[in-house]
Structure 1
């Protein structure tokens, strides 16, 4: 009884010792997040009382246009790039599961059977030194038959992770898996931004087409008027040709816009991933309520909001873990092979009490001379860590620039929109007065044509500026990492 208690205690102590060894040894460097490689604040930061914090907004709250919300929802369900990104998550998860399973022994069940036949002469020759020699009249020895049956659980070359090599590889696979998840989030946000910008371009093109059609109608009337006056002799042929030229230019501009609109809608269909139909009257004019105002916050918040920044940090942490695995390779690798089960020469006696058997075979592999392989692997891991640090810092700098660019564009485009609105009003008044002056004979028809061209150009410029202003809001939302609810 005492001997049994001692054996039980010894097994418990051995188990505790192995647990401590398996969990306490790691060569992974201590991770420290690199300092922020940007300024502490953005060059422009304008927050009003109506601004919303980026963390408080999902894409449905930011984009208030119902038609756009419908398109984004379709895109998130059907876009193939997003499906590929989701598939890569499952791929990375499987790789992590494989590396996690390497920490534990693989137990296999084996049930082999063996039946052998040996010539009798083989045995007699082995015993010939201990018996009298045979004579030609001695009959041949009969064949010898034997059987063996086995049922066992086996462990084949289970590596005991004393130095943390397998745990380091498991940690690296986990960080790569998390980085892949963040990459999918980045694809998610990027898709929302692409659909929103394409939708905004569609609204701009619809408005430009509407302006171009009105311009064609106006110039058609002017052409017919000048043609009739020429036929009546009250104006010159040159003025009629000028009116016709202006009409043809307007028609050419309209065809260009129609082509661009159709190509843009093809791009939208690709982004959404399914054929779509949308009423054109919903796209007739760009409205100010298209998006909400947001507050950019501080650059340090990009570390927690931007999926690409989070993905870069996970890859950096994976590089740290790979250094731990490379360091552990310098130490002996301890593995264990063993089996436990029953064996018998007869199948019916396979599970009798006296048929139990076991064996274990520990082995130690010590690296002695590998021509610098392990040292090169460690150097490679450190080089990749340095690359990962630079990639992480570069990702933050790119994110900072994207936010700063969006803020700059938003500020200047707002001012530009006000100026162009006033300029358009002046151009319309100029065109009206130029026509009156022409009617009274105080100015040539060419002056009116110039005023009409400038008015048409001013209308187009204002529409494009308004679209660019709203696009800067979309770009700011995406640059801040908005659109994905964690």
Structure 2
């Protein structure tokens, strides 16, 4: 008899654990067909070694590395993304806990005095009870709880990929701000050089006008060039300060002066060049694409949970323990006590709530499919655009450097001819403007070149490997 009671108590404790999660009503997940062909564009298949570079390997400039490292510690957007990961992980842990019964234990005691049947005599009675059990645990026979847990898990993974995307955006934003500062510092230097040259020409022109060699028209033209250069100096000085402010915002804290770039020419070799070819399959490992796919998987699990709501739910309350009239004999001679109270609930009429919930889950999944496809299309376009721009940048840089060299020679010869009275000031004025414009154009192309390098790194998904994650099962 005692043996049977022990088996009954064991069954009361074990049954909820054994019956949890017997079935899943999730649809079979199929990754949507890609809305692009990954081998027929500028991102054609060759090698895929480039995206494995971590940012510290891709960025070779020591000062820029330090600035990026500071941003990864201090950037507020990244802190928010990391906090979102922690919140998603906590929600997943909370949902996963619902798959297991809650085991409670307690020790109760009571002591009372009561009148006996003979006169005014009283008697003291006491009882003690030790008990452990589960309360109202829902058996997950149709997988609703497990589907909800899977949905939370995929949401957590989506948050982790979103944080990777934010991290990659922070790196690219900081590098772009650093490049913009370098470019405007070079533009400021070019404007200052032009203003100094124009001032020298203005002085020479005024002297020539006093000696009757040139007219006041030449003096006015020289004055125009000088004042325009002064205005450019003031404008680029403002831009340099604004670039500094943008860099501080991107980093999240002030940047030391010794970590700022000197000019656009100093950026040579600051980042690695893209290899000859990159497999377009790397697009599927972009964090935004992975985040969209995890969101789609979460929607798939939500459908399973909505389907399970149409089936009965079974809840169990079970407990077992010992009772005794004396605390000292509770665990030695106490009497065994147990209870087992199953209940079943069958949805009969819910005003269409379950049907509406399933319709919503299906509609949400279709929306997430469209979002995933759009994310892949966007990734493909960004990579194709960046590679198409890169294809002509080296030729453009070479041509622009040649243009600056020719303009410098032109300006030098024009100044010599003007000072010796061979040419008019108009030729010198044209040469100065041509040189200044050529230098500005070269700086702009250099800025585009370096921004293209960091853009390629970003749109290829960066170099950090996907974080390892635990499975739900």
Assess same fold via TM > 0.5: yes
- Alpha-carbon contact 2:16-2:139 (below 8 Å) kept: no
Q: Is 1:72 matched up with 2:68?
A: yes
Residue 406 of structure 1, aligned match among 366, 380, 386: 386
Residue 337 of structure 1, aligned match among 303, 314, 317: 317
1:31 alignment counterpart: 29
- Alpha-carbon contact 1:27-1:164 (below 8 Å) kept: yes
Q: Is 1:246 matched up with 2:225?
A: yes
Matches within 5 A, 1:102-117: 102-112=98-108
Bigger Cα displacement from structure 2, 436-445 vs 453-462: 436-445
2:59 alignment counterpart: 63
TM-fit CA distance, 1:291: 1.6
TM-fit CA distance, 1:4: 4.8
TM-score by length of 2: 0.88
Structure 2 distance, partners of 1:362, 1:281, is: 71
TM-fit CA distance, 1:456: 0.3
Q: Is 1:298 matched up with 2:296?
A: no
Structure 2 distance, partners of 1:172, 1:301, is: 26
Matched position secondary structure for 1:452 = helix
TM-fit CA distance, 1:336: 0.7
Residue 319 of structure 1, aligned match among 284, 299, 305: 299
Matched position secondary structure for 1:417 = helix
- After superposition, what is the alpha-carbon deviation per residue over 1:28-53, rounded to whole angstroms, capped at 9, x for unaligned? 111111112112225225899xx982
Q: Is 1:392 matched up with 2:388?
A: no
CA RMSD of aligned residues (A): 3.3
- Alpha-carbon contact 1:223-1:243 (below 8 Å) kept: yes
Q: Which has the larger radius of gyration?
A: 1
Bigger Cα displacement from structure 2, 227-236 vs 95-104: 227-236
Between the two proteins, the alignment pairs up a number of residues equal to 463
- After superposition, what is the alpha-carbon deviation per residue over 1:273-299, rounded to whole angstroms, capped at 9, x for unaligned? 222213388523244312212245233
Q: Is 1:354 matched up with 2:354?
A: no
TM-fit CA distance, 1:8: 5.8
- Alpha-carbon contact 2:21-2:142 (below 8 Å) kept: no
Residue 77 of structure 2, aligned match among 75, 81, 92: 81
Matched position secondary structure for 1:158 = strand
TM-fit CA distance, 1:241: 2.4
Distance 1:10 1:152, change over 3 A: closer
Matched position secondary structure for 1:294 = coil
Distance 1:42 1:206, change over 3 A: farther
Q: Is 1:223 matched up with 2:223?
A: no
Structure 1 distance, partners of 2:428, 2:186, is: 24
Unaligned runs of 5+ in 1: 125-139
- After superposition, what is the alpha-carbon deviation per residue over 1:106-156, rounded to whole angstroms, capped at 9, x for unaligned? 1223345567899x9xxx9xxxxxxxxxxxxxxx99999976654322312
Distance 1:143 1:386, change over 3 A: farther
Distance 1:144 1:331, change over 3 A: farther
1:271 alignment counterpart: 250
TM-score by length of 1: 0.86
- Alpha-carbon contact 2:188-2:236 (below 8 Å) kept: yes
- Alpha-carbon contact 2:45-2:279 (below 8 Å) kept: no
Structure 2 distance, partners of 1:286, 1:307, is: 32
Bigger Cα displacement from structure 2, 68-77 vs 321-330: 68-77
Structure 1 distance, partners of 2:125, 2:305, is: 49
Structure 2 distance, partners of 1:401, 1:46, is: 13
- Alpha-carbon contact 1:42-1:298 (below 8 Å) kept: no
- After superposition, what is the alpha-carbon deviation per residue over 1:46-96, rounded to whole angstroms, capped at 9, x for unaligned? 899xx9822431112211111111111111122222121111111111101
TM-fit CA distance, 1:468: 0.1
